[in-house]
Structure 1
């Protein structure tokens, strides 16, 4: 991609992988649309990631995905980057920034359901690792969803790997709202910009 027409800011590689996987699943070519998905390396980097692209930089349309508990960080970062962020509860989604209730992994687990997530893990050859984690004394009292979330974050690169695999396993009508929202916003912005 020579230069993007729209920039989607996401916390990390797992979110980036999920956005790209959903685009493939729904038949959208992000490169052809001019959509760049930028992993910021943590939500606290939102300001420094938005500045070069937003109103005080290239003035490109922005969209993003974030975890609801970090909303205050998102509001502060977007304001510092030059966007007008009101106190209205829907202000961030109106700007194209969509909140995951807890995090993206939680959204994907809820959308697919525990049995389907376990099938994806099995298909990836990691059922034994999941079972070993679940059998550890500290996790024995956890719900299966809690164990799955811990499993996804327990090894370097696993979140990103499974973000793609779990998104690939979604039925189009079961896509988590924040993930669908950010992708559709990005594609709409790019299309309205002549892409």
Structure 2
């Protein structure tokens, strides 16, 4: 009887060791897969920086008109990423609208890119805050990912040659907005 008990104990030890090894190897395999996936994801979305050319994109505005960034070459572009729920976005939209009225005829355009909200929410917000500049919706978040936008609001200043000259995260005052538009105004 002791032999059987000893034999049974030995089999339990072997079984436990086997289970421990399988779990350890599974965790190592998962870590390797995660590391490889992270490497590909980093390569896919390179971090943009000042001096880089702004990647082209095409998004549709609230009137169904497609806007391509490349169509604005030769003009300064104030590319603003925002959300209806974002308190700083609510504060800066009226100031952006006032400065847009001053600078739009001087070659500075605003493209306001909403991050994946419904047309109804965006339209209601745009009407409430008097947004007269193109208001686009990034329904798939592909532009947000391409531009590595993390916090909202984030604004990219793009010069007439298509290069990013400044990246601003967080709320801007009206005097900030005015200065930034001067910075990207052509000629």
TM over 0.5: no
TM-score, with length taken from structure 2: 0.28
Q: Find the structure with the greater CA-based Rg.
A: 2
Q: When you count helix as a share of all residues, which structure comes out higher?
A: 1
